[in-house]
Chains A and B, each alone.
Chain A
Amino acid sequence: MLAYCLKRAFFSLITVLIVITVVFLLMRLMPEEGYFGDGYDKLLPEQREAILRSMGLLDPWHVQLKNFYIALSKGDLGTSIIYRPKVPVAEIIGPKIPYSLRFGLVAIGLSLATGLWMGVVQAREKGRLADKLGTGYVVFINAVPAAVYLLFIQLYVTQFTGLPILFHRDYPISWLLPAASMSLGGIAGYAMWMRRFMVDELNRDYIKLARAKGMPSTAVMVKHVMRNAFVPMAQYLPTSLLMTIAGSIYIESLYSIPGMGGLLVDAIQRQDNPLVQALVLIYAVIGIFGLFLGDILMAIFDPRIKLEKREGSR
C-alpha cells in the first residue's frame, strides 16, 4: 500500500513539474502588452526593453526557468502588474481562497446528497416517470452551457423569490442561490453516474446469486450495488471536490463573489500576465493533486488494487 502511494505521488510530482515548465514556456509566448499596463504605447522601445530586462524576461529561457523555480520554492509567484500593481500575486490570491472554499464545500455537499439519491431513485424507477424527469434534467444540464442556464436562474429566480442578486458577505441569505446554482452540475453528474452504475451492476452474476439466495431487492441494492458503487466514485471525488473549491468561474462573476474564479476572469480581461500565469499554475496543480488523491482513495476502497500491488503483478 505504501509503495503504491509513493509511486503515485512520484508520478504526480513529475506531472506537476512538467506542467509547470510547459505553462511557463507557453506564457513566454504571451503578448508583451501584458507586462506594461496602460503605459505600453507611451514608452519608447528602449524603455520597454529595459523594463522587460529588469523583469528578467529577456534572459535565455533556461535561465528564466531556473529563476522561476527558485522564486517558486521561496513561495514567490510573481508580482501583479496591472490588476494591483506591485502587489505580490500571492497576496492577491490569498484572501480569495476562503470564499471559493466555502462555496465549493457547500456545493459539493448538496451535489452529493441530491445527486446520489436521485441516481438511486432513477435506477429503481427505470423507464418510469421519475426516471424520465431525472434524465430530462441531466440532459438539460449537460447540453446547455452552464453560462446560459446559470444566467437565467439568476435572472428569474431572484425575480420570483426576491433573493438578492449579488452576493454580499453581510447578508447570509445571499449565499443560498449561488451555492445552489453551483451544485446543479454536480447533481446531474452524480445522478447520471449512479444510475448507470446501478443499472450495470444489476445485471451481474453475483447479483443474480444474491437474489437466488433469497435477498430482497432493496437489500441487494443497498448492500451490494450501492456499496460497490462507492469504489469507482471514490476515484473522482477528490477531483470534483478540488475543482469546485477552486471556484466556479461563472458563479463567482455572476454573483460578484470575491473568489479565485472571478479573479481569473479579471486577470484575463486586464491581461495581467503574472497573475494569469500564477492562477493557471494553481489550477493545474489542484487538478493533478485531485487525481492523485482519487487514486489513493480508490486503492483504499478496492481490495483488488491493494493486493495486486502488494504481491506484484500476477
Chain B
Amino acid sequence: MNEPILKVLDLVIKFSLRGRILTAIRGASLDLQHGETLAIVGESGSGKSVLTKSFIGMLDNNGWVDSGAIMFDGRDIAEYRSEKEWLTIRGRKIAMIFQDPMTALNPLRTVGLQISETLELHQGLRGASAKRRAVEILSDVGIPDAAGRYSQYPHEFSGGMRQRVVIATAMACNPEILICDEPTTALDVTIQAQIIELIRRLQRQYQLSVIYITHDLGVVASVADRVAVMYAGDIVELGTAEEVFYNSQHPYTWALLSSLPQLGIRGQPLYSIRGTPPNLFSDIPGDAFAPRNPRALKIDFEERPPYFTVSPTHVARTWLLDPRAPKVEPPETILAMRRKWRGARP
C-alpha cells in the first residue's frame, strides 16, 4: 500500500475572469492511498472543488491547469486535453458526486434510465441486462423496492433517496476513486449519517478510495483516515485524522479547529477568525494566512514556507516548524481540546 493511487504534484490552476487571471490553486500537493478516505477541508473559496474537478477534467471553460502534475494509473492526467482522453477516466475510474441531489438528476427521465446509461457507456450492457444490473445497484445503495423504483422519476424520491440514486449512478461502473463534493450539506442530519454510512459500506465492499470535500469538521471526524487542510488554493497541512486533530501544526488549522462551536466556553463569545481570505488575482508572497495570523513571523510575509515533515504521514506548510523559528504554543482552546481528548483516550 505504499504507492498512492493518486498523486498531485505542485498543481497550479488558473482562471481567466473579467479579463484578469485568478490563480485558484497555487501549487498544491497531496496523495491518496488505496482504499483510504481523504477529507479535504477548507472554507468556501479555498479551492476544494476546483482541485477535485481538475481530476476529471471538468474545470469551467475559462480555467486551465497551468503547471504541475496529477499522477494516476501511471500517467499524468493533467496533460489530458481532449474529451476522448477524459472519457476514459470519468465515471469509469474516477467518479464524482455533487452537493445538491435535488438538481443532480434529469427531471424528465426515469431514475433507472439514468443509471442504465452509465452501464451502457462503460460496460456495454444493453436493454434487459443493463436494467437488471441497474436494479441490483439501486438495491445495493439501499433503495427499497428497487425494481419498482427503477421506472420512477426523480421528483418521486426524497432528498436522501435521491442522493442514494446519485451515488448509485456514480458507483455503477465500479470506479477506483469516488469524489464526494459536500454530499451531505443539503441533507438533514439524520439522513447525513445514513449517507455517510452508505459510502463507508460501499468503500469496504468495493475497495474504493474516497475523497470527501467538506467544510464540516464533524463529518471529517467520523469518516476521514487522512485530512488535507486547504487555504487560499494551497494545502497547508496534510496528515492522518488523529494527527491533524490532536497534533496540528499550522496556525490556520488551529484557527479552524478553534472555531468549532463545541469548543466554545459557555458565556463567552465564539471564536472566529478575523479577516477574510486573500484576493487570488494577485500573487501572494509568503504564507497566504499570514495577514490573519496574530502569531505570524516576518518571514511569513516574504517567503512561502515549504512542507515540513512532522511524521512520516504528517506534513505542514508553516515556518513555525523551521528549526530557526521560536517555539510557539497553539492557542489555549486547542491545548484544552488536546488535554480533554487525551484524557478520554484509553
A interface residues with partner B (beta carbon < 8 Å)? 204-206, 208-217, 219, 223-224, 227-228, 231, 301-304, 307
Contacts and interface: CB of A to CB of B under 8 A. Distances in A.
Interface residues of B, number: 33
A223 B117 contact: yes
Interface string B94-129: 011110100111111100001001100110000000
Given A227-B108, A303-B108, A304-B155, A214 B90 contact: yes
B91 interface: yes
B103 A206 contact: yes
A213 B100 contact: no
B91 A212 contact: yes
B98 A209 contact: yes
A204 to B, nearest CB: 7
B121 A214 contact: yes
A214 B92 contact: yes
Given A303-B153, A304-B153, A304-B155, A212 B90 contact: yes
A209 B104 contact: yes
Interface string B173-184: 100000000000
B104 A206 contact: yes
Interface of B: 56, 58, 83, 87, 89-92, 95-98, 100, 103-109, 114, 117-118, 121-122, 153, 155-156, 166, 169-170, 172-173
A149 B87 CA distance: 47
B98 A210 contact: no
Contact of B105 (A206, A214, A303, A304): A206
A304 B152 CA distance: 11
11 contacts: A210-B106, A211-B90, A212-B97, A213-B91, A214-B118, A214-B173, A215-B91, A216-B83, A216-B87, A227-B109, A304-B155
A219 B106 CA distance: 14
Given A209-B97, A209-B104, A209-B169, 9 more contacts: A210-B106, A211-B90, A212-B97, A214-B92, A214-B118, A214-B122, A215-B91, A304-B153, A307-B153
Given A211-B90, A213-B170, A214-B90, A224 B58 contact: no
B107 A304 contact: yes
Contacts of B121: 213-215, 219
Nearest to A204: B103
Nearest to B166: A209
Nearest to A301: B108
A216 B107 CA distance: 20
B100 to A, nearest CB: 6
A216 B90 CA distance: 10
